[in-house]
Every structure is written in structure tokens, then in C-alpha cells.
Amino acid sequence: MRTQSLNQSHFSQVPLPAGQTVANAKDDKKNGLISELVYSEQQSVVTQLLVPLLQQLGQQSRWLLWLTPQQKLSKSWLQQAELPVSKVVQLSQISPLATVDAMEKALLTGNYSVVLGWLPELTEQDRIKLSRAAELGNSYGFIMRPQRDTNSPHRHHSTVKIHSPLYH
């Protein structure tokens, strides 16, 4: 597992001929997407749903990027989850607002099969930017959001959880 600072960037973009995008440089496949996962500490759905997908994407030659402003990934959890530790890159201790820009840049490069970002509330403009970046980079982006108010009568009941052993 690698932990990177924003200055040591995997976000270098390959120059393309004028008018050509990353998407049409890769046989016009537009498979990228953005999805948002709201999770709570009382559920283990993220592990059940997300880990198999990450295992599959880890078989690609591209990296898996974790943008975790407040936490550090646990290497033992990655190994236990059978994720390719040598392909996992983590950027941590960056501001939540910088995380949105970092996620957009990472998705655009096409260097990552998946980018997981713990992000603040997004504007519709941010969502559109991230969706477009994922499509152009043929990457998957997961916006991870911890559930704030567990006592709210309007809370969404089909949330997902990331277990604390994920981090150390």
C-alpha cells in the first residue's frame, strides 16, 4: 500500500491529439460512473457489497485510490479482504474541499480503476464534474459519506457501513 501526498501525484495526464478525449482514445467505451454510499456504523453492507467489486477491479492493471482525509487504511484489513495491497494508493490528511478536486483529477487520468472519496456534501455542479471525469477516465468513483444524524425520523434506512477495522 502506498500513501501519497498531493505533491507526489499519480494524476499526471497523458497528452492526447487535439479534440480527442480519454474516452474515445479507449475505443469509445464510456463505462465510468459515480455512486454515493451513505453508511452507518451499525451496518456492514459496504463490506458485503463493495469488497467483491474492489477485488474484481483490483485485477485490472490500474490502481485503486482511496481519498481519506481523516483516516489511514489498515494494511491488515486490505490483506484480509484480499485486495491487492500493491495496487492501493491512499491520499490522507487532505482537506475535504481538496478531496473533491483530487477525486476529479484522479478519475480523469484513467490511471485508477476505482476512486473512493470521503467527501463533504456536494453541489450538483460537483456531481456533474465527477460524473464526467469518471466517464472520460473510464473509472468508477464512490463518494463515501458517513451518516450524520442516526436519530432523525427522516433518515434513509438502506445505508451502508464501513467497519472500523478498515482503518487503524
pLDDT in tens, 122-135: 899 999 999 999 99
**Is the CA virtual torsion 20, 103, 128, 30 positive or negative?**
positive
pLDDT tens readout for residues 41-60: 677 766 788 899 999 999 99
Domains of the chain: 31-87+94-147+161-166 (3.40.50.300)
Residue 91 CA to its chain's centroid (Å): 11
Least confident of 36-50, 96-110, 115-129: 36-50
Please state the pTM of the whole predicted model: 0.71
- Classify burial at 21, counting beta carbons within 10 Å of its beta carbon; exposed 0-12, middle 13-18, buried 19 or more: middle
Euclidean distance between CA atoms 133 and 110, whole angstroms: 9
Is residue 81 very low, low, confident or very high in pLDDT (cuts 50, 70, 90)?
very high
Cell of 21: 478525449
The candidate with the shortest Cα–Cα distance to 104, out of 76, 137, 81, 82, is 137
